Structure 1
Amino acid sequence: MEARDHQEIDRRQRVILIHGLSGNRWVLGSLNRFLTRNDYRTTRWCYRSVGNSVMNHARRLKAFLEEEVGSTEPLHFVTHSMGGIILRAVLADMNWQRPGKLVMLAPPNHGSRVAAMASRGLHYLCPALSDISTAPDSLVHRLPVVDSLDTGVIAGTQDLLVHLESTYIANQADHVLVPCGHNRILRHPESLREILYFLKHGHFTEAAHRVVATASTRGVMV
């Protein structure tokens, strides 16, 4: 009986969860429990986000993912905020061919205005703020898109930290909005439902709230 149960668990598809700036494993708790209840095996990849740059975090995540490269089993990712930028930095430096999907929650793909303001006084304490700022030379503007994973983006309509136009990314398969703020998006019922649907189908539900995006003169989708 135990052997059969173990085989059942092993057949579950895996999802790696990555939190954002100032986050920890506990902020991923609701999402972790939700995906586990829906037959996914989850891993919470955590890091000390304050005091390091995005590239320093990316080096750690790359070392972790190098053990996962050889498998042909699907491996999915759900990232929150800066966690998505760290993953983009890693995959830009890896020949990642393993099948899977990526759901980015409130990602500052074109930078955060709040991070830009905060970086003026806190750069030395938290170099990552400069990496995710809206400054033209910030890291987010130099990273390529993730083309090895089907990517869906969920943005919050009440997000005061990452503005809507910053969440779009050129190769996204789908983009939807949920009525919540930056951190609530990790546990909002609509957000959880859309994450699960995307992991299964590669797009969000038909009923989800979408805003048609067009390219601005700065190359940002608005």
Structure 2
Amino acid sequence: MNKMADALTEEGYSVVNFSYPSRKHTIETLAERYIPRALARCGEHETVSFVTHSLGGIVLRQYQQTREIEHLHRVVMLGPPNRGSQVVDAMRDVPGFKLLNGPAGLQLGTGPDSVPLALGPAQGEVGVIAGSRSINLILSLYLPNPDDGKVSVENTKFDGIADHLIVHVSHRF
């Protein structure tokens, strides 16, 4: 997200680019600990917009389940598994998967324990950009096409989004 932050800064936006330990905590814990920290760094701006990548979009949606973000302008999600990912379903029991993806990663499947599937519709103006180019042909075997190697284009969608765009890029953008 550093290149994205630099590009937005060059366009005149005030940018707060933050990272979080995605492999250490559940989605619920990440939402409660890290979204407030990011918002606190925004200061007294008239509006706040979010650009998220992958899990970040789910963390934001989880936060919005219990809290309203004041002065929220727009949200742009890049490659979010809004309906989960079949890759998680197929790989969750593979040795090393939990170590590489952490507890939050295990919550991104499409089954009954899927956090994204339990979240409500979009809050505010939300646009989703999905990738349709996979550079991981093995993982793409588990996904309906088109996909970005981690998430199918169809699974980036969810109720209430204002716009959905497909670009020919992989999950890493």
TM bucket, shorter chain: 0.7 to 0.9
Letter paired with 1:143: L
**Is 1:176 aligned to residue 159 of structure 2?**
no
Rounded to whole Å, the distance in 2 between the matches of 1:68 and 1:143 is 26
Task: Report deviation, 1:123.
Answer: 6.6
Deviations 1:2-44 (A, max 9, x none): xxxxxxxxxxxxxxxxxxxxxxxxxx12101110110001111
Rounded to whole Å, the distance in 1 between the matches of 2:44 and 2:68 is 13
Give the TM-score, by structure 2 length: 0.81
Q: Using a 3 Å threshold, how does the CA distance of structure 1 residues 96 and 70 change in structure 2: closer, same or farther?
A: farther
SS of alignment partner, residue 116 of structure 1: helix
Out of 124, 132, 146, which is 2:108 matched to?
A: 132
Contact 2:122 2:158 in 1 (8 A): no
Deviations 1:129-156 (A, max 9, x none): 2211111331111111232x21001001
Question: Pairwise mapping of residues 142-153 of structure 1 onto structure 2 (< 5 A)?
Answer: 142-147=118-123, 149-153=124-128
Q: Percent identity?
A: 32
Q: Using a 3 Å threshold, how does the CA distance of structure 1 residues 123 and 160 change in structure 2: closer, same or farther?
A: closer
Q: Using a 3 Å threshold, how does the CA distance of structure 1 residues 99 and 138 change in structure 2: closer, same or farther?
A: closer
54-63 or 34-43: bigger deviation: 54-63
Give the TM-score, by structure 1 length: 0.64
Contact 2:153 2:166 in 1 (8 A): no
Rg comparison, structure with higher value: 1
Any gaps of 5 or more consecutive residues in structure 2? Answer: 134-147
Deviations 1:194-214 (A, max 9, x none): xxxxxxxxxxxxxxxxxxxxx
Task: Report deviation, 1:69.
Answer: 9.6
Contact 1:72 1:99 in 2 (8 A): no
Out of 52, 59, 82, which is 1:86 matched to?
A: 59
Out of 126, 140, 160, which is 2:149 matched to?
A: 160
Task: Report deviation, 1:127.
Answer: 1.1
Rounded to whole Å, the distance in 2 between the matches of 1:50 and 1:176 is 28
Which one scores higher on RCO, CA 8 angstroms, separation ≥ 6? 2
Any gaps of 5 or more consecutive residues in structure 1? Answer: 1-27, 186-222
Deviations 1:36-69 (A, max 9, x none): 1100011112111113211111111243256479
Rounded to whole Å, the distance in 2 between the matches of 1:108 and 1:140 is 7
SS of alignment partner, residue 34 of structure 2: helix
60-69 or 73-82: bigger deviation: 60-69
Rounded to whole Å, the distance in 2 between the matches of 1:65 and 1:36 is 16
Q: Any runs of at least 4 consecutive aligned residues in structure 1 with deviations exceeding 4 A, and if so which?
A: 68-72
SS of alignment partner, residue 89 of structure 1: helix
